[in-house]
Chain A
């Protein structure tokens, strides 16, 4: 089986098992864990949230990069992110809006994979490099990305431009906006391992496990 096909199944499974909370209760649980983990992951000593969660709204204030992210989610594949410029001495000024609208056509990868129907085979054949490539593409180094011009000179920060799952977008922000190199590396290894186990067992990843902190190196 072609390596790209194997990785396509892993890609789809990773999104399904980690970033598709079912129903409003699960979504709230996922967002709550996300909320609790963010300050600690970035080591900023506080919650970076501008307001308590309102259904469908996540507003993150990322002071260290002078950016606020106001996110409005209407479905897993429907959301908008407002990027707001926020230096300490100015009120918010809108930079751009990143929109994902599932009403418009995009490449139907899900249909192809279902029709191809070789998931089991793909999982059996996956090797360690496949999982690394998938986690990098989803979270650590998205294929299509934007670099941000920030006071902290970090070319390593990449905001994924092609992510159409709202929860995956939030999760990749958690990783990308952390400038601590050692932490990024241990988080990458943790995610590779976590998703490999989850995909092999075809089990959903509980939000508390997904948002756990990597071990200190």
Chain B
């Protein structure tokens, strides 16, 4: 980007990259992080994660690392520079292209591989031609069609491509006689519940076992994929006020004195986020006319529209809790990604993370000042009974050393009966309802009439799916007044699935739940379903799809990819529960199931199935 040498340098959020930018516009903050990264760069061999919120300065910190250390990564994988709506084939293609390029640069031995012939029908060892297809040097229809066809092949056999990539990397390592330094950037642009992030998991897993620097949004660090020891995480928090002031002064260049007052105002409303500070100063300068207060109000309104108008709003309760307590617990970031949880708030910068408390259990946080001003947060007035139950919940949270935020009650008054039953035992012993809580949150997210999104639930184990779903459906139909219908749909040759889907859309239901039967659907059927995007818009839907076939489906669902959010059932359940929690839940429910047959005992039977599965899965993952 062309910069003004002495004057004003505003931009809409680009990281500082060039030597001049880093020398003249960079504020030397996060010094500890920088020295940790330099140490990693020189002496360590494992993956490391730089996480931060949008506009917190992650990219600039990383650029500064390359600049100060004088070491550049051997390979860079930019997952955000090849357009939008990328899928599995794109992500593996990005990795493969970079590896081939470097293998050619280093003259590495590629004789064992026959990718040019196998992927693109090229001659023996025509690696440069394959690279030109994977990463076209010019835009042409011919190259685009070739790339599309190679990409389709890549998406069909990700396992093979992963092996080929491993071989390429090994050859490069042999040539350069050290661990190559890899840099995975742009992962932070993918929301954890987006279909694209689901597709990205495979390529990321490949990079996780290498010496890779990952640039992530802070919410990604709480995904099961990145569940590493916290010493691998480097979090970029908000900046101090004075640091923000210095940053804005540098951005104003020779004009900083003339805008000193506005700099102070922008600093105050930045919440410590450097990008927000710059945007606020721009908004203030552009908001002309009126009193000082009126100018600030105009600027805030503009910034709110720009940042938050199209960003899904987290629940008011969460924002209220953060406002009062000024902290978030990392555990609640692992809870399922629905409106009740903190993920949405952190990913969208509704809440700004300031720093980790010394005991490591809490993150200091504030509600973004722009949000606090612009949104009237609802404070719920409850009847005394609800307040009493909430007090119990808080006590329970305290006993279990967990956050009270994710433990709110179902809003529907009818559910109080069940809660009352559960809390009867509260006085004698701690209540074991972790799984119920998580399923409640999932239910609120999946089965709420207010929800505007379309959801795909991916699952690994059909048995746990059945059990969890039975529980969710039972709860949904018991406590919420909504018509909810579930159907199975398969790739039938007699009645094509698209016809079946059209029929189902005619059904009178608030929520339509579809289970996709079978692992390998015909390409034609998937493409036809993709074309139905506009027909789906007026319907609230949940699609249940086996995890191992979802990647292939998403590859053909170019349109639908943009519509759906993805849950991975087991990950959502596992991320929040410890083995102790699960065992404690099982013990608790054992006693209850002994009671006579009833609808409650059916629900509890299902819970038990889920718990047993989770217990095994958790043991398996901790052993492995």
Contacts and interface: CB of A to CB of B under 8 A. Distances in A.
Contact of B292 (A42, A88, A180, A216): A88
A61 B254 CA distance: 18
A122 to B, nearest CB: 38
A150 B9 CA distance: 21
Secondary structure call for the B interface: helix
Contacts of B285: 63, 88
Given A88-B284, A88-B295, A89-B295, A150 B258 contact: yes
Interface string A176-194: 0001101100000000000
Which of B9, B257, B284 has the most chain A CB within a 10 Å cutoff? B257
B189 to A, nearest CB: 25
Contacts of B260: 151
A66 interface: yes
Given A88-B295, A89-B291, A91-B289, A216 B5 contact: yes
Count class of interface residues, chain A:
20 to 34
B261 interface: yes
A45 B289 contact: no
Given A88-B284, A88-B292, A89-B292, A44 B7 contact: yes
Nearest to B4: A43
Contacts of B254: 43, 152, 179-180
Contacts, number: 63
B521 interface: no
A65 interface: yes
Which of A42, A43, A151, A183 has the most chain B CB within a 10 Å cutoff? A43
B8 interface: yes
Nearest to A68: B288
Nearest to B290: A91
Interface string B485-526: 000000000000000000000000000000000000000000
A180 B7 contact: yes
Interface in A144-185: 150-153, 179-180, 182-183
Interface string A57-74: 000010111100000000
Interface in A27-76: 40, 42-46, 61, 63-66
A20 to B, nearest CB: 31
A44 B292 contact: no
Contacts of A152: 254-255, 257-258
Contacts of A66: 258
A151 B4 contact: no
Interface of A: 40, 42-46, 61, 63-66, 86, 88-91, 150-153, 179-180, 182-183, 216
Interface of B: 4-10, 253-255, 257-262, 284-285, 288-292, 295
